[in-house]
A and B are shown apart, each in its own frame.
Chain A
Amino acid sequence: MRRLYGAGPGHLAALLLAFALAGYAASIVAGDPLWPWMAVWFVAVVVVHDGLLSPFAAVADAVLRFCLRWFPRRPARPTTVNYVRVPALGAALTFLMFWPGIVRQGEPVVRGQTGLDQGPFLGRWLLLVAAMIAVSALVYGVRRLTRRSAAGG
């Protein structure tokens, strides 16, 4: 078993159970004419995460570290990058999670369900991002000043 399969029988049993459950669960919507769309979305979210968002984040981080290393008069400290990373992650997380309101997607349904429009969300999100950038810049500035005075004192 281990030579041919590559793991013990428990391994095989656990995985076969998971596939059986998935197949049985999928059969619940087998009569739904839109089940192929559900399957497409199921795979698409993985493809978008693994193939689009993750590489984009990795490349953006590499570019950021490159810039901080080569463009300031003196190379930045290795941790300076975090003052950009943290607000950028906050902006990305909130944008991805609250995207429908920010880009006003599906507004007629929102209006019917809540009696409200999506007008305020873009401005609010931009303010939130601006606040995160401002706080990060402030912390950076304070740290730099205290470090310089400590070094000079």
Chain B
Amino acid sequence: MTRTEPGDRASATPWGAPWEPMVRALERRRPPLPRFRSPLRGPWLTSVLGAVLLAALPVVIVTGLLSYIAYGPQFGQAIPGDVGFLHLPWFDWPASPSWLYRLTQGLHVGLGLVLVPVVLAKLWSVAPKLFAWPPVRSPAEVLERLSLLLLVGGILFEIVTGLLNIQYDYVFGFSFYAAHYVGAWVFIGGFVAHVALKLPHMWRALRSRSLRAELRTSVADTRPEEPDPHGLVAPDPAPPTMSRRGLLAVVGGGSLLVAALTAGQTVGGPLRGLAFLLPRGRTTAAADGGPNDFPVNKTFVASGIDPGALDAWVLELTGGTVPVRLDRAALAALPGHTATLPIACVEGWSTVQVWTGVRLRDLAALAGVPAPASAVVRSLEQGAFAQATLTSGQVRHPDALLALAVNGAPLAPDHGFPARVIVPALPGVHNTKWVRSIEFRSA
């Protein structure tokens, strides 16, 4: 042993430390622990999987944090409300390009899902360390083991809560938004520390074998890696049943399978059906291919709105000197505008449709607030997402609409009849449906 590196089991043993006899005694009392015999495990394999995660996870992290900004924390409508300094630098979420949230959130969910097989393979590759004996030999190892709980607990917690949320399964009972955001920061801390401690090992291990040569090695020629100080390489390896190439193909194949089964919910169109195990692989129960046949976020029935309330529906615009009231006929008589815009939801699914309605900025002018600083849109429904505040940039964008029609037909009740907001790049749930009033604020 010539080098002492943190994390190298053998060299981290603090010989001469006061607890050395305890560590020695523990070593002699090794209980019957599971034996790991796969000849594929080793620092090289772990590092290849680690390198993939190191490249991809930052994308998942940043797009997730961007989603928090997109929800409009400056209006108190991002969840959790107060996150101290744990956020990206504040900025107004832009309204163009219109596909921005579709891209960032599609990446967040899509890439997060595709990485699930890689995460599982990475955990499999380091499984022997879980049963290393003695479990710890120094305070450094105690801390490092605890930090692995942040790392592994963090990533698994994010995967599990995320997977349940995109399938609307709230079996956990707590707030998904709050838990997923806090879990993310717990993971980020563990992830950064892990990378800081392991990056040199990863680099060295990656250089210990050639990926190209490994991808040409058959099962018969597969040999265990050199014995390592981390305890990843099996001391008595079993004969190989799979090459490293085969294992990487299984993991990559798993990721491809997940990609094939999930991309459709974001890409939409004819590919939507490929996401046949996800709720957003379908459009509507009728699936009639009509103008309103695209995924619904919260049905009219679930909104709890009394259908009778729609008969005498009047839109109220406030913020000017006097409130302005418009019924459906009056709205339809205003200059109209048509725009092709996506609905992109936090669950990663999206759908692009052609919307027709009145520009929000025209309504602002009509209300007597031609240059609004923000606008509060309220729905007929009650509850968590029954209102949303829009930034000045979102209200003034030429494609930001109070939509009355979609694909040339009146909005269906499930899509927000008589009128809904549709703003470019706005998180789906803030495109308020069944709009009752809009308050334009001048400051």
B160 touches A45 (CB 8 A): yes
B156 touches A49 (CB 8 A): yes
Contact of A115 among B161, B174, B185, B296 (CB under 8 A): B296
Contact of A25 among B6, B14, B86, B174 (CB under 8 A): B86
Chief secondary structure at chain A's binding surface: helix
B179 touches A29 (CB 8 A): yes
Bound Cα distance from A64 to B279, whole angstroms:
34
Contact flags (1/0) for A44-74 with B, using CB distance below 8 Å?
A: 0110011000110010000001000000000
**A43 contacts chain B at the CB level, 8 A cutoff:** yes
Residues of A within 8 A of B285 (CB): 115-117
Residues of A within 8 A of B169 (CB): 100, 105-106, 109-110
Residues of B within 8 A of A79 (CB): 219, 241-242
Given A17-B193, A21-B186, A101-B279, A34 and B175 touching (CB < 8 A)? yes
Given A41-B160, A86-B250, A93-B254, A17 and B189 touching (CB < 8 A)? yes
Residues of A within 8 A of B97 (CB): none
Contact of A54 among B124, B189, B261 (CB under 8 A): B124
Residues of B within 8 A of A19 (CB): 143, 146-147, 150, 189
- Closest Cβ neighbor of A22 among chain B residues: B186
A29 touches B139 (CB 8 A): no
A28 touches B17 (CB 8 A): no
A98 touches B242 (CB 8 A): no
B246 touches A82 (CB 8 A): yes
With an 8 Å Cβ cutoff, the count of chain B residues facing the other chain is 95
Given A4-B17, A15-B144, A114-B168, A28 and B80 touching (CB < 8 A)? yes
A105 touches B182 (CB 8 A): no
Mark out the residues of chain B between 1 and 38 whose CB falls within 8 Å of any chain A CB in the assembled complex.
Answer: 4, 6-7, 12-18, 34
Bound Cα distance from A90 to B260, whole angstroms:
13
Residues of A within 8 A of B416 (CB): none
Bound Cα distance from A90 to B190, whole angstroms:
29
Q: Which of B59-67, B298-306, B328-336, B392-400 contacts A (4 or more CB under 8 A)?
A: B298-306
Residues of B within 8 A of A26 (CB): 182, 186
With an 8 Å Cβ cutoff, the count of chain A residues facing the other chain is 73
Residues of B within 8 A of A118 (CB): 279
**B82 contacts chain A at the CB level, 8 A cutoff:** yes
Chain A nearest CB: distance from B186 CB in Å? 4
- Closest Cβ neighbor of A80 among chain B residues: B241
B138 touches A90 (CB 8 A): no
Contact flags (1/0) for A73-111 with B, using CB distance below 8 Å?
A: 000001101100110011001100110111001100111
Contact of B302 among A32, A42, A93, A112 (CB under 8 A): A112
Bound Cα distance from A118 to B277, whole angstroms:
9
Bound Cα distance from A21 to B186, whole angstroms:
7
Contact of A5 among B139, B152, B246, B298 (CB under 8 A): B139
**A140 contacts chain B at the CB level, 8 A cutoff:** no
B279 touches A42 (CB 8 A): no
Contact of A110 among B146, B182, B253, B279 (CB under 8 A): B279
Bound Cα distance from A86 to B7, whole angstroms:
34
Bound Cα distance from A16 to B254, whole angstroms:
36
A6 touches B141 (CB 8 A): yes
B241 touches A78 (CB 8 A): yes
A90 touches B257 (CB 8 A): yes
Contact of A32 among B137, B178, B190 (CB under 8 A): B178
- Closest Cβ neighbor of B195 among chain A residues: A14
A114 touches B219 (CB 8 A): no
Bound Cα distance from A65 to B261, whole angstroms:
30
Given A4-B17, A11-B6, A82 and B179 touching (CB < 8 A)? no
* A residues at B contact (CB < 8 Å): 2-8, 10-12, 14-22, 24-29, 32, 34-35, 37-38, 41-43, 45-46, 49-50, 54-55, 58, 65, 78-79, 81-82, 85-86, 89-90, 93-94, 97-98, 100-102, 105-106, 109-118, 120-121, 124-125, 128
Closest 6 CB pairs of A and B: A6-B138, A112-B302, A21-B189, A7-B6, A6-B140, A25-B185
Name 13 A/B residue pairs within 8 A (Cβ), A-sorted: A2-B4, A3-B14, A6-B6, A6-B137, A10-B196, A15-B197, A18-B150, A27-B84, A28-B185, A42-B183, A45-B160, A49-B156, A82-B241
